[in-house]
């Protein structure tokens, strides 16, 4: 998008350590106001008076919104926005946008890579080569697990879930799913409960968003239903998993292995998961390529541009689709 024609610079609040490309674009178009962190106690009188937008990775609560009486829009960097109080924003007449679609394919690629790495122990095999064990001790052991003959359940059949499902089809694997409601026109088998899905498959991939409705949805009961040959992969949100139950399931053989890109208290990963030999762990890199993060940054800023230049959002979240610009 080109620079909007604004009668005066619009102040956009940006918490520290934001995306560099997005920050540079904001500097070119708006008046960027930085704050050390998204804490209402750090809001100055000038910010209260001038700030009309926020660009952030999330972490925007009701208290911060209330501290900024002229706030019109929160441009969230990322498709997940569970750390933004979107319900309070809607009640307060504040638009919330996110960055869907531009990261779908990258995250789906990561999910498949994480699944294969978990099943075939690619990380451990590479380490065997690099540390000289292949020369000293011979070939790496045969992997106990395989993708062959597996059936996959997807928890969260949205844009990313569908992209993962299409990739799995190319692997010749049957796909089923669980959502809050069935997706109209989708041929994959639908299960109305997560436990029911876990009982029907041996590989469960979670792409579910965070929030109260999915808090620890993948629990001991679901993992038990997945079974001793089961593989669990999480590319969605760490909060959707009972990590203590997962660690126990891995240790006891309740499930066979897990691949995780997200955790409940990032960057702090439970020691029990770090120590588990049957895990493949990544530091939340699902969309972390320069190409995709730049596209996300552009969409984040384009939402601000569109809101203030054309008085409309590009990608509003469902909770705030009815919010209208202030006169």
pLDDT value for 202? 98
78, 96 Cβ separation under 8 angstroms: no
For residues 75-92, give the mean pLDDT: 97
Q: Do domains 11-100+290-320 and 104-281 have the same CATH topology?
A: yes
Catalytic annotation, pick one of 25, 52, 237, 293: 237
In tens, the pLDDT along 24-59 reads 999 999 999 999 999 999 999 999 999 999 999 999
Residue 104 in 3-state DSSP? helix
Instruction: Read off φ and ψ for residue 84, nearest 5 degrees.
Output: -110, 130
Q: Which two tokens stand for residue 289?
A: 């390529």
Separation CA 324–CA 327 (nearest Å): 9
Contacts 24+ apart (CB under 8 A), 102-105: 102/292, 102/295, 102/296, 102/298, 102/299, 103/78, 103/79, 103/160, 103/286, 103/287, 103/292, 103/295, 103/296, 104/159, 104/160, 104/163, 105/163
pTM over 0.85: yes
Does the pLDDT of residue 6 top 60, yes or no? no
For residues 257-266, give the mean pLDDT: 98
pLDDT band at 5 (very low <50, low <70, confident <90, very high): low
Residue 93, class by beta-carbon neighbours within 10 Å (0-12 exposed, 13-18 middle, 19+ buried)?
middle
For residues 185-208, give the mean pLDDT: 98
Kindly state which CATH superfamily the domain 104-281 is placed in: NAD(P)-binding Rossmann-like Domain (3.40.50.720)
Does the pLDDT of residue 7 top 80, yes or no? no
CATH number for the segment(s) 11-100+290-320: 3.40.50.720
Catalytic residue status for 191: no
For residues 242-254, give the mean pLDDT: 98
Separation CA 138–CA 310 (nearest Å): 65
Q: Domain segments of the chain: what residues?
A: 11-100+290-320, 104-281
Catalytic annotation, pick one of 20, 126, 169, 266: 266
Catalytic residue status for 266: yes
């Amino acid at each position: 998008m080109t620079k909007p024609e604004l009668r005066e610079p619009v102040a956009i609040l940006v918490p520290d350590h934001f995306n560099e490309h997005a920050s540079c674009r904001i500097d070119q178009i708006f008046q960027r106001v930085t704050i050390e962190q998204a804490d209402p106690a750090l809001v100055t009188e000038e910010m209260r008076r001038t700030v009309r937008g926020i660009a952030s990775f999330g972490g925007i609560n009701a208290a911060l919104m209330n501290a900024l009486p002229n706030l019109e829009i929160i441009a969230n960097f990322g498709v997940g926005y569970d750390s933004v109080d979107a319900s309070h924003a809607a009640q307060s007449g504040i638009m919330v946008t996110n960055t869907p679609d531009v990261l779908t394919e990258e995250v789906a690629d990561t999910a498949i890579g994480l699944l294969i790495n978990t099943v075939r122990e690619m990380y451990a095999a590479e380490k065997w080569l690099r540390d000289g064990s292949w020369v000293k001790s011979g070939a790496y052991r045969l992997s106990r697990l395989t993708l062959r003959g597996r059936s996959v359940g997807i928890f969260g059949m949205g844009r990313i879930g569908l992209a993962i499902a299409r990739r799995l089809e190319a692997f010749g694997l049957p796909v089923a799913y669980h959502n809050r409601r069935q997706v109209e026109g989708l041929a994959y088998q639908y299960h109305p409960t997560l436990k029911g899905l876990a009982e029907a498959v041996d590989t469960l991939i979670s792409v579910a968003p965070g929030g109260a409705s999915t808090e620890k949805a993948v629990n001991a009961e679901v993992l038990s239903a997945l079974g001793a040959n089961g593989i669990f992969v999480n590319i969605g949100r760490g909060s959707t998993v009972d990590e203590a139950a997962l660690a126990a399931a891995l240790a006891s053989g309740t499930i066979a292995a897990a691949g995780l890109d997200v955790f409940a208290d990032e960057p702090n990963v439970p020691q029990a998961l770090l120590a588990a030999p049957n895990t493949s762990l990544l530091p939340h890199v699902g969309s972390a390529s320069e190409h995709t993060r730049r596209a996300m940054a552009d969409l984040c800023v384009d939402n601000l541009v569109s809101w203030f230049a054309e008085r409309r959002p590009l990608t509003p979240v469902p909770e705030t689709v009815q919010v209208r610009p202030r006169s």
